């Protein structure tokens, strides 16, 4: 038999639990009491105040292969086994997680096995999943609620019933109420009224008595101190009832409205008559469990103790009954699949992806290994693919110093700052001068604070930048990138003594694309011809030294510009007075020409700029001449997922006849912000476009969304061309794109492989 | 000590959990966590394995039965990739609970696609909540008729192989407790269960094909290979086999313990994977001896491979074997390294330069402790000591030069970033992205020949001939 004792904090659960354990033991039961309160004082009266070693403390300090159950098991009065789960220090970690970990330990070591009765003394309330562990079906078969007649104690008791109902809507596992008197006014009546309202018996009524205090001073239970006392008799009676088999009841708590009526002193009948409130509450419960069986259970269970079952329970019969009435399985409609737009990636990874771009800094992930392995492999995937596809090693995607604290379960429970400190000091010892610490969800949830460590490292001459992508609150990959960009922009840029007048900074390059380096080489070629060098790439294949010296360059260029880009730009402008060029990294002829003209003007290199433009104009016009022979006058339809200025310019220059240009609709409520395929409007948008193809019969279809092209067959049109919205940098990039179209236009080779669908289905479906 | 970067790229416990669940054909693994936790795990596994549910977005003539529902694929739970959906949790779910999202996801997933098994895995952050979610998972399972396995704790920062092993054990135990596994009657004659191959093995399909081929030459059939894309029906009949084979014991300890506790099926374990003709022959003879089968045809097959190896070695090395300068380095689990060392060093006579056993307790050791013997590597150490090559275990693989390097593409790329003279042979995920269409293997006779082909060509590219 396993028994859980729940109740409001300070109500006397531990005293009740200990006396109950002692009474059961005196009747011959082999009893184990497990205290589930970080205060670890539940079993004190049984073991007479021995020094306690809690399960969690033990797990934390003992290597797994040296752990023995006997090390945490104390023997108390009449051989009662005493265990305290323990927990983190107040304000740290996650105590609920600690309870779960303790129970895992107890199971792994089969600690419960030798005992005929286990009593769980559980902290205050079912405040979180961890403290609900004893209520799980494999643990407590009977649950007692300890309450006095005080309002808060009764509220807590009702709340515990709500918790039990949520966790086990169909179960009948409440033994009843233990009324622990505080000697206040009409409390007895209140407790009995409450018991009646929730359909539970009062199993024991414990009077307020000085004897409890006397026994406590001796670190004993009353059973031990004075077995013949009136109070001891009550516990012995309860223990006998337990041995003989308790009647158990479903949890049937009062709704908020009913509790209000109850506290106002309304009669039980009046409270229960508020069926509207009750049924509303039932509906809420039903939404957490199995609707059908839960509502059946509540109709029968509320205020109807005669429906109670005896121990051992009749679970299996109930299960069979339930299976019989379960409706035949039928396919259901999907819930609104777009009701909550997904976030792309995770913040930790976004931050790490950027942080590793600072090659002379160490990145210290404060995370479980899974997060870091995920991040590390995400970064290196570009490096691996680059090596395979192009035979090039891209330094940007080979992290240099990337260590991780490998947060363990113990760190999650007790806090992992000390672990992070060890790692950071080891990095400092290796001579690392800059550490970018990126903290993941787990330290966020358990409340790790690295700021004191940052100060300690500063005193050793090491700068630590903390990017707090912790707690899932930070959201997506972009949010993590934003935090890393902003932290380094605000904290790592230092004042400089001298300017390098022929230099420029490049800000906000795409960190996760192989194309970034290609674009950079094109930009460098343009800059070189103008006699300008790149001072700092913020943040792509860069160094902390370059970031520290960001202010040396008189101007900066945004590689791309979106909401985050503008925020970063604003930091540089407002905090440091930086000046930025108009626009972004130029793509296509027109943008490149304007960019070079502006550079020439700002850097006093007008003549060089003019020559450069003349050179590229000749190349561009020559390329256009050849392409026009094929494309001039072609009727084109375009489907674009976003802005694409270069295409408009190219279409003009090639004299294409753009008969329709289509952009998917935006829905601010459901806009995922990164891929139209996941928007609710996608299907309608595609259908409209395909209908237009049928109607207008174009010569060419260009789309930035490959999925549209796979649908074109249904519009009776083949040979659509995929275009990347984001082409390469420089004067000739749009021309390069159009050159690729040449080979595709007019080709409609279907491929006979499609005829083998039947064979595939035969073998694999 | 091997560099932090290389340690960080090895997979962890939760990856092992997911790969074990993914290794059941037509299963779905739902991560109860934010989408960020989902996006990585699906990238790497089973790239060459044919899996119909990964066909999506196909229309018209190509609409395949069994392909994933397009609307479901575009939903918040799948977010565009068929592998490993998540419940798409947000901050508020971590305060108020995850059950609503979980129910919605399970309901949509089971409504729109016929899966054989539902695996629900708590993400690291979600596991901290210690919520009771089993009743919800169970209810959906009962409703849909699809069995489930729930993994409540991803055991932070622990070993991938342990995650894999404990999950295979959990799958078997859960299905057994639910009465889904068939009774131990009606045994299949000369059939074996094969444990230790997993969906995160680079060549899982080729490995399975080669082991099946060799055993079928002896008249032995593979009954079930848990974790290597076996079907639920095969799992149901797992107790009908005559022998349980445990390849990669580091991946099977818990599973073996369980199988031995619930059945009397004899166990056959290989401490080293059957790589190279000698270990392949030991493997075949060992199994045949247990089952009373005739290994003749398989031995003949191995002999043919031996002959081919002999010819190539004699012709390419002039009978002298490899020069001492031609060395190799390798990383991987102990049983893989032991198999490779036996073949490359013991059989072909090629000295090793560095070994980096992965997924052992040495990964988190300090500099001094890192090269101390790890308890998972006893067999490997003994073998290398016998070959006189145990010094390779104390060399840092991230610093090797002028070698053939057997490992993941991460390690190959990392070493190549400072040494141009490396010939890399991919033996594990993460890969370079090369798409394997022909099933490949490193095991058995086919694997022996494939490895030799790499060695001989690598030797030429490294200019390491005489």
Residues 359-388 of B with CB under 8 A from A: 364
Does residue B428 register a pLDDT over 50?
Answer: yes
Residue A471 is predicted with a pLDDT of 57
Which ipTM score applies to this complex? 0.89
CB contact B418 to A (< 8 Å)? no
Q: How far is A406 from chain B (nearest CA, A)?
A: 5
Residue A680 is predicted with a pLDDT of 64
Residues 6+ apart with CB under 8 A from A764: B50, B52
Nearest to A335 among B64, B107, B144 (CB): B107
What is d(CA A122, CA A97) in angstroms, rounded to the nearest whole number?
Answer: 14
Instruction: With beta carbons less than 8 A apart as the criterion, state whether B329 and B403 touch.
Output: yes
Does residue B278 register a pLDDT over 60?
Answer: yes
**Chain A residue with Cα closest to B9:** A373
Does residue B195 register a pLDDT over 50?
Answer: yes
Does residue B466 register a pLDDT over 90?
Answer: no
What is d(CA A9, CA A519) in angstroms, rounded to the nearest whole number?
Answer: 64
Beta pairing, strands A555-558 & A503-507: parallel
Residue A263 is predicted with a pLDDT of 84
Instruction: Write out the two tokens for B46.
Output: 């089973």
Tell me the mean pLDDT in the region B130-150.
91
> What 3-state class would DSSP assign to A121?
strand
Quote the pTM value: 0.81
Residues 6+ apart with CB under 8 A from A180: A7, A11, A12, A16, A146, A147, A148, A206
CB contacts < 8 A, A to B, total 254
Q: How confident is the model at residue B465 (pLDDT cuts 50, 70, 90)?
A: low
What is d(CA A288, CA A266) in angstroms, rounded to the nearest whole number?
Answer: 30
The DSSP H or E segment spanning A435 is strand A434-439
State residue A36 phi and psi, 5-degree precision.
Answer: -115, 50
Q: Which residues of A are catalytic?
A: 8, 13, 39, 125
Q: How confident is the model at residue A79 (pLDDT cuts 50, 70, 90)?
A: very high
pLDDT tens per residue, range A733-760: 999 888 888 776 666 667 788 788 888 8
What is d(CA A479, CA B101) in angstroms, rounded to the nearest whole number?
Answer: 22
Q: How far is A329 from chain B (nearest CA, A)?
A: 6
B132/A473 touch (CB, cutoff 8 Å), yes or no: no
Does residue A610 register a pLDDT over 50?
Answer: yes
Tell me the mean pLDDT in the region B239-261.
94
Which of A146-155, A262-271, A294-303, B250-259 is least confident?
A294-303
Within A182-314, residue ranges assigned H as helices are: 187-197, 210-217, 222-225, 230-244, 256-263, 268-273, 275-288, 291-301
Q: How far is A606 from chain B (nearest CA, A)?
A: 41
Residue A292 is predicted with a pLDDT of 30
What is d(CA A494, CA A488) in angstroms, rounded to the nearest whole number?
Answer: 11
Distance of CA A541 to the CA centre of its chain: 29
What is d(CA B254, CA B258) in angstroms, rounded to the nearest whole number?
Answer: 6
Residue A93 is predicted with a pLDDT of 59
User: Shortest CA distance to B228 belongs to which of B250, B245, B204?
Assistant: B204
Beta pairing, strands A555-558 & A533-538: unpaired
Looking at beta carbons, which residues of chain A come within 8 Å of B41? 374
Residues 6+ apart with CB under 8 A from A73: A81, A82, A83, A111
Q: Which residue did the predictor score with more confidence, B342 or A182?
A: B342
Tell me the mean pLDDT in the region B314-332.
87
The DSSP H or E segment spanning A363 is strand A362-366
What is d(CA A270, CA A266) in angstroms, rounded to the nearest whole number?
Answer: 6
Looking at beta carbons, which residues of chain B come within 8 Å of A403? 4, 8
Does residue A310 register a pLDDT over 70?
Answer: no
Looking at beta carbons, which residues of chain A come within 8 Å of B124? 368, 370-371, 441-442
Residues 62-91 of B with CB under 8 A from A: 62, 64-66, 71-72, 74-77, 79-80, 88-91
Which of A464-478, B74-88, B104-118 is least confident?
A464-478
Tell me the mean pLDDT in the region A189-211.
92
Instruction: Write out the two tokens for B262.
Output: 């619930």
Residue A231 is predicted with a pLDDT of 92
pLDDT tens per residue, range B148-193: 999 998 888 888 999 999 999 999 999 999 899 887 666 667 999 9
pLDDT tens per residue, range B379-394: 888 888 998 888 998 8
Instruction: With beta carbons less than 8 A apart as the criterion, state whether A405 and A437 touch.
Output: no
Q: How far is A89 from chain B (nearest CA, A)?
A: 16
Q: How far is A3 from chain B (nearest CA, A)?
A: 19
**Chain A residue with Cα closest to B90:** A472
Which residue's entry shows tokens 């205290």? A35
Interface test with B, best of A373, A439, A676 (most B CBs within 10 A): A373
What is d(CA A658, CA A643) in angstroms, rounded to the nearest whole number?
Answer: 16
Residue A29 CB burial class (10 angstroms; 0-12, 13-18, ≥19): buried
Alpha-carbon torsion (A152, A158, A160, A166), positive or negative? negative
What is d(CA B154, CA B10) in angstroms, rounded to the nearest whole number?
Answer: 16
B76/A337 touch (CB, cutoff 8 Å), yes or no: yes
Mean predicted lDDT score pLDDT of chain A: 83
> What 3-state class would DSSP assign to A364?
strand
Does residue A613 register a pLDDT over 90?
Answer: yes
> What 3-state class would DSSP assign to B120?
strand
What is d(CA A456, CA A463) in angstroms, rounded to the nearest whole number?
Answer: 10
Angle at A413 between CA A407 and CA A417, to 5 degrees: 55
**Chain B residue with Cα closest to A759:** B64
Does residue A497 register a pLDDT over 80?
Answer: yes
The string of DSSP codes covering A129-140 is TGGGGGGSTTS-
Distance of CA A149 to the CA centre of its chain: 41
Q: How confident is the model at residue A335 (pLDDT cuts 50, 70, 90)?
A: low
Residue A314 is predicted with a pLDDT of 35
How many residues would you count in chain B? 466
> What 3-state class would DSSP assign to A251?
coil
């Amino acid at each position: 038999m396993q028994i859980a004792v729940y109740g409001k904090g300070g109500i006397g659960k531990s005293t009740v639990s200990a006396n109950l354990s002692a009474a059961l033991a005196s009747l011959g039961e082999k009893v184990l009491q497990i205290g589930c309160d970080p205060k670890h004082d539940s079993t004190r009266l049984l073991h007479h105040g021995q020094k306690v070693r809690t399960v969690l403390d033990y797990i934390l300090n003992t290597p797994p292969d040296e752990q023995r159950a006997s090390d945490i098991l104390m023997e108390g009065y009449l051989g009662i086994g005493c265990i305290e789960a323990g927990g983190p220090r107040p304000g740290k970690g996650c105590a609920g997680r600690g309870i779960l970990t303790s129970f895992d330990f107890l199971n792994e070591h089969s600690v419960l096995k030798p005992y005929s009765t286990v009593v769980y003394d559980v902290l205050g309330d079912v405040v979180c999943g961890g403290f609900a562990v004893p209520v799980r079906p494999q643990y407590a078969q009977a649950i007692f609620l300890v309450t006095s007649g005080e309002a808060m104690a009764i509220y807590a008791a009702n709340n515990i019933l709500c918790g039990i109902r949520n966790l086990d809507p169909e179960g009948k596992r409440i033994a009843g109420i233990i009324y622990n008197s505080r000697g206040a006014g009409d409390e007895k009546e209140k407790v009995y009224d409450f018991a009646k309202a929730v359909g539970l018996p009062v199993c024991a009524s414990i009077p307020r008595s000085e004897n409890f205090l006397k026994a406590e001073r001796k670190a004993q239970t009353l059973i031990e101190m004075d077995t013949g006392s009136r109070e001891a008799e009550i516990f012995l009676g309860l223990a006998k009832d337990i041995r003989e088999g308790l009647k158990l009841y479903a949890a049937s708590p009062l709704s908020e409205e009913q509790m209000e009526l109850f506290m106002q002193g309304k009669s039980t009948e009046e409270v229960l008559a508020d069926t509207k409130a009750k049924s509303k509450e039932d509906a809420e419960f039903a939404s957490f469990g199995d609707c059908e069986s839960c509502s059946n259970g509540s109709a029968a269970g509320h205020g109807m103790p005669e429906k109670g079952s005896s121990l051992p329970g009749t679970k299996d019969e109930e299960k069979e009954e339930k299976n019989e009435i379960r409706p035949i399985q039928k396919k259901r409609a999907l819930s609104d699949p777009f009701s909550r737009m997904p976030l792309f990636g995770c913040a930790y990874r976004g931050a790490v992806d950027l942080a590793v771009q600072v090659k002379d800094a160490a990145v210290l992930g404060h995370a479980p290994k899974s997060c870091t392995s995920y991040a590390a492999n995400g970064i290196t995937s570009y490096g691996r693919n680059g090596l395979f596809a192009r035979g090039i090693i891209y330094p940007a995607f080979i992290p240099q110093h990337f260590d991780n604290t490998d947060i363990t379960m113990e760190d999650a429970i007790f806090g992992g700052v000390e672990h992070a400190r060890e790692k950071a000091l080891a990095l400092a010892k290796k001579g690392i001068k800059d550490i970018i610490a990126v903290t993941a969800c787990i330290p966020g949830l358990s409340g790790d604070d690295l700021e004191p460590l940052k100060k300690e490292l500063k005193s050793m001459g090491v700068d630590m930048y903390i990017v707090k992508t912790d707690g899932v609150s930070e959201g997506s990959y972009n949010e993590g990138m934003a935090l890393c960009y902003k932290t380094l922009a605000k904290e790592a840029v230092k004042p400089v003594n001298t300017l390098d007048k022929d230099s420029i900074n490049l800000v906000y390059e795409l960190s996760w694309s192989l194309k970034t380096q290609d674009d950079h080489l094109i930009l460098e070629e343009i800059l070189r011809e103008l006699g300008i060098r790149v001072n700092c790439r913020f943040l792509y294949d860069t160094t902390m030294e370059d970031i520290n010296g960001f202010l040396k360059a008189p101007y900066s260029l945004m590689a791309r510009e979106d909401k985050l880009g503008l925020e970063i730009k604003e930091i540089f402008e407002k905090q440091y007075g930086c000046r930025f060029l108009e626009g972004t990294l130029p793509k296509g002829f027109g943008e490149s020409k304007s960019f070079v003209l502006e550079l020439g003007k700002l850097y006093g290199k007008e003549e060089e700029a003019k020559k450069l433009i003349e050179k590229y104009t000749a190349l561009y016009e020559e390329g256009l001449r050849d392409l026009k022979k094929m494309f001039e006058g072609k009727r084109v339809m375009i489907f674009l997922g976003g802005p694409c200025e270069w295409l408009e310019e190219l279409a003009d220059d090639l004299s294409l006849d753009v008969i329709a240009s289509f952009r998917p609709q935006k829905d601010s409520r459901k806009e995922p912000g990164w891929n139209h395929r996941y928007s609710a409007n996608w299907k309608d948008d595609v259908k409209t476009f395909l209908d237009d193809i049928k109607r207008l019969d174009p010569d060419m279809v260009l789309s930035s969304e490959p999925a549209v092209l796979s649908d074109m067959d249904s519009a009776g049109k083949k040979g659509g061309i995929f275009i990347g919205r984001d082409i390469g940098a420089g004067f000739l990039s749009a021309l390069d794109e159009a050159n690729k179209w040449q080979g595709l236009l007019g080709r409609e080779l279907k491929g006979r492989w499609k005829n083998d669908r039947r064979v595939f289905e035969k073998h694999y479906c | 000590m091997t560099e932090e970067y290389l340690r960080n790229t090895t997979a962890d416990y939760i990856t092992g959990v997911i790969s074990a669940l993914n290794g059941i054909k037509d299963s779905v693994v739902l991560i109860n966590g934010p989408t960020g936790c989902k996006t990585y795990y699906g990238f790497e596994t089973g790239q060459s394995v044919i899996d119909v549910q990964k066909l999506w977005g196909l229309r018209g003539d190509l609409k395949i039965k069994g392909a994933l529902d397009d609307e479901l694929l575009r939903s918040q739970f799948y977010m565009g990739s068929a592998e490993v959906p998540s419940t798409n949790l947000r901050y508020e779910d971590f305060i108020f609970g995850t059950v609503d999202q979980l129910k919605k996801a399970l309901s949509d997933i089971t409504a729109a696609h016929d899966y054989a098994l539902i695996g629900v895995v708590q993400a690291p952050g979600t596991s901290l909540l210690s919520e009771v979610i089993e009743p919800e998972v169970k209810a959906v399972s009962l409703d849909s008729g699809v069995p489930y396995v729930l993994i409540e704790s991803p055991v932070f920062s622990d070993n991938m192989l342990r995650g894999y092993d404990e999950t295979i054990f959990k799958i078997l135990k859960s299905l057994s407790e639910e009465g889904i596994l068939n009774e131990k009657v009606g045994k299949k004659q000369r059939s074996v269960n094969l444990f230790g191959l997993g969906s995160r093995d680079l060549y899982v399909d080729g490995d399975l094909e080669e082991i099946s081929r060799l055993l079928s030459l002896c008249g032995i059939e593979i009954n079930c290979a848990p974790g290597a894309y076996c079907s639920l029906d095969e799992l149901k009949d797992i107790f009908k086999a005559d022998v349980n084979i445990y390849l990669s014991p580091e991946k099977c300890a818990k599973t073996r313990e369980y199988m031995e506790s619930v059945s009397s099926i004899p166990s056959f374990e290989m401490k080293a994977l059957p790589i190279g003709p000698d270990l392949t022959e030991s493997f075949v003879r060992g199994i045949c001896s247990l089952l009373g089968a005739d290994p003749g045809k398989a031995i003949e097959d191995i002999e043919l491979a031996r002959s081919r190896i002999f010819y190539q070695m004699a012709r390419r090395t002039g009978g002298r074997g490899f020069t001492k300068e031609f060395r190799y380095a390798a990383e991987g689990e102990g049983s893989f390294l032991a198999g490779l060392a036996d073949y490359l060093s013991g059989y072909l006579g090629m000295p090793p330069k560095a070994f980096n056993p992965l997924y052992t307790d040495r990964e988190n050791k300090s500099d001094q402790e890192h090269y101390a013997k790890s308890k998972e590597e006893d067999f490997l150490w003994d073998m290398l000591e016998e070959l006189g090559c145990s010094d390779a275990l104390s060399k840092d693989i991230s610093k090797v030069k002028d070698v053939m390097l057997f490992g993941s593409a991460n390690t190959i790329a990392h070493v190549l970033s400072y040494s141009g003279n490396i010939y890399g042979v991919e033996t594990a995920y993460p890969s370079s992205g090369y798409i394997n269409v022909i099933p490949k293997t490193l095991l058995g006779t086919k694997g022996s020949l494939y490895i030799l082909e790499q060695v001989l060509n690598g030797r030429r590219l490294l200019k390491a001939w005489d």
